[in-house]
Structure 1
Amino acid sequence: MTALLAAGEDPRPSLLARRDPTAKLLLVLVVTTAVVLVLDPVTPLVLWVLALVGLLLGARVPVRTAARAHVPFLVLAVGQLTVNLVTRPGEVIATPGPLRLTAEGLEVGTAIALRTLVIGVLAVAFITTTSPVRLMTSLQQNARLSPRVTYAILAGYRMLQEMPREWASLRAAHAVRAPLRPDGTPTRSPRVLLGAAFGLLVVSVRKGERLSQSLESRGLGLTPRTTWRPSPWTRADAVLVVVVLGVLVAVLATSAALGVLAGPAVLFG
């Protein structure tokens, strides 16, 4: 994910990179909300394929980068599938040892796992095609957010980008003092990792405090303010919103017409 966060700093030219960040953020929120309410395996599978095509073509993300970006979401998806498979009551389809695997658990778990992948692809597409500075400008100009909110979002985005580098530095510093394994490699015990995580928390809090003081000293919140590089909402942004929402509605309507679409009621059925 380090490479993806760095990509958001200066996104490569692409169809999605040229679109307004507020429009893309709106689409991510709407599609994510719709996917969260879907609990059948087929609908999120179709949406995941369409989102993946959009990531590869619209964002011009290399296949290798897209595959690596799937790893953390895939791990989470497998965990969700496993938990539902062994804990959800229903018709038993297999009994490996003391475990009882149910058909209902397989169906719901697969749906939840697939919607996790959909949300992951949307997040990757947004990160790799959105400049933090342009995001701040767009939210202030088009979403009518106050400078305090937009600059806070920019600061959080910057800190998120720097976290992988800070983590690597802390791990290197801990490796100098930590006891070595018999083969000479640094230990990776939970205690050492917890110490590094606590150090990352302390560094982030201190950096956030310094950043807030810096913004206040530069007159954050004073009005009127001017924009160096405006991010106007264009006709192409409206077309993107209409097309994506139209595809979403078409997929949901088709699933409903075929009798495939299922909602949260499945959890209580």
Structure 2
Amino acid sequence: MSPLARWNPTVKLATVLALSTAALLVTDPVTPAIGYVLAVAALLVLGRVPLRAVALGHVPFLAFAASLLVVNVLTRSGGDVVVVGPVTVGATGLTIGASLALRTLFVGVLSLTLVLTTDPVRLMTSLHQHARLPATWTFAVLAAHRLLEELPGTWHTIRCAQAVRDPRRAAGDLPRSPRALGTAAFALLVGAIRRSERLAIALESRGLGAGPRTTSRPVALGTGDVLAAAAVLAAAAGVVVLGAHVGWLTGVGALAG
């Protein structure tokens, strides 16, 4: 596993939440930009995540960040006049919009780091061990995750079954009519409900919630995990201190301008 994958999931989640919360308190574009670059570098180097996966994961965050930039540029006035191509905008709207957009990308890449470098089973096991998450919640979430993992394969099976039963289809084509898609979606929903019922019965028959339970694969929490979190938070604090010293750092009060 990569260094980020070996990092204790509970400590990693707490660090991501701390950084994301701290990002909400700054409104200058430089601070989240530096954090974004560092986070992407860590994800690629320490997380060993393929560049394609990182790029695809950015798609929803880029769309939301672009909308924040456009809305603030068009609705916020004030400051010096800035010419951006054929458009003339106010410096205040451009600065705040860029800050919110970069903040979105920073929080987004932190979320990608957690999702792409963390095994869900290790995460829930670690939360049960170290964050004292109740066993009923832990196993319920794991069961739901298992159910969600099976949905794409089940959908493909249903669509292939539809194609086999359709005598008018061309070889290799799947039915694409609204009626066929609606029928497949309904079959997927019914199948998911039936599997969830079987999972609930299986968990209850195994005494879930009846008492303390053991863990077959415990997740270790060592000094290195805590030191890694301290190093990340110290780097973030260093960026903030540098910004305050140089003068680019601004707080939430700038949003009222």
TM bin, normalised by shorter chain, reads 0.7 to 0.9
Identity %: 47
* 4+ residue segments displaced more than 3 Å: 91-97, 155-177, 184-189, 191-214
Match of 1:230 in 2: 218
Aligned residue type for 1:59: G
Query: For the residues of structure 2 that align with 1:110 and 1:167, how far apart are their CA atoms?
Result: 40
Of 14, 24, 46 in structure 2, the residue corresponding to residue 58 of structure 1 is 46
C-alpha contact 1:86 1:100 (8 A) present in aligned 2: no
Which residue of structure 1 aligns with residue 170 of structure 2? Answer: none
Q: Structure 1 64/37 Cα, relative in aligned 2: closer, same or farther at 3 Å?
A: same
Q: Distance in 1 between matches of 2:198 and 2:186?
A: 19
- For residues 106 and 168 of structure 1, what CA distance do their matches in structure 2 show? 45
Which residues in structure 2 correspond to 1:25-104 (within 5 Å)?
A: 25-91=13-79, 93=82, 101-104=89-92
Residues 232 and 261 (structure 1), Cα distance of their counterparts in 2 relative to 1, 3 Å cut = same
Matched, 1:218 2:206: yes
Partner of 2:125: 137
Q: Match for residue 20 of structure 1?
A: 8
Q: TM-score, normalised by structure 2?
A: 0.80
Query: Which of residues 235, 242, 247 is equivalent to 1:254?
Result: 242
Q: 1: distance between equivalents of 2:129 and 2:245?
A: 40
Note if contact 1:142-1:232 (Cα within 8 Å) is conserved in structure 2. no
Helix, strand or coil: the match of 2:48?
Answer: coil
Shift, 1:52, TM fit: 0.7
Larger Rg: 2
How many angstroms apart in 2 are the aligned matches of 1:109 and 1:169?
45
Structure 2 CA distance for aligned equivalents of residues 171 and 83 of structure 1:
41
Q: CA deviation at 1:147?
A: 0.3
- Counterpart residue type for residue 70 of structure 2: T
Alpha-carbon offset, residue 234 of structure 1: 0.8
Deviates more, 1:107-116 or 1:80-89: 80-89
Hey, what's the Cα distance between the residues in 1 that align with 2:252 and 2:186?
38
The reply on whether 1:149 has 2:108 as its aligned counterpart is no
Distance verdict in 2 for CA 1:122–1:157, change over 3 Å? farther
Q: Which runs of 5+ in 2 are unaligned?
A: 167-172
Report how far residue 226 of structure 1 moved. 0.9
Deviations 1:92-149 (A, max 9, x none): 546999x974322211111111111112211111112211111111111111111012
CA RMSD of aligned residues (A): 3.5
Alignment-mate amino acid for residue 103 of structure 1: A
By how many angstroms is 1:24 displaced? 0.8
Q: What are the within-5 Å matches in structure 2 for residues 200-211 of structure 1?
A: 208-211=196-199
List per-residue Cα deviations over 1:218-258 (Å, max 9, x = no partner): 22112121111111211111111111111111111111122
Q: How big is the shift at 1:54?
A: 0.6
CA 1:86 to 1:217, structure 2 compared with 1: closer, same or farther past 3 Å? farther
Alignment partner, residue 109 of structure 1: 97
CA distance in 2, matches of 1:65, 1:114: 20
The question of whether the paired residues in 1 share the 8 Å contact of 2:82 and 2:91 is answered with yes
Q: Which runs of 5+ in 1 are unaligned?
A: 1-12, 178-183
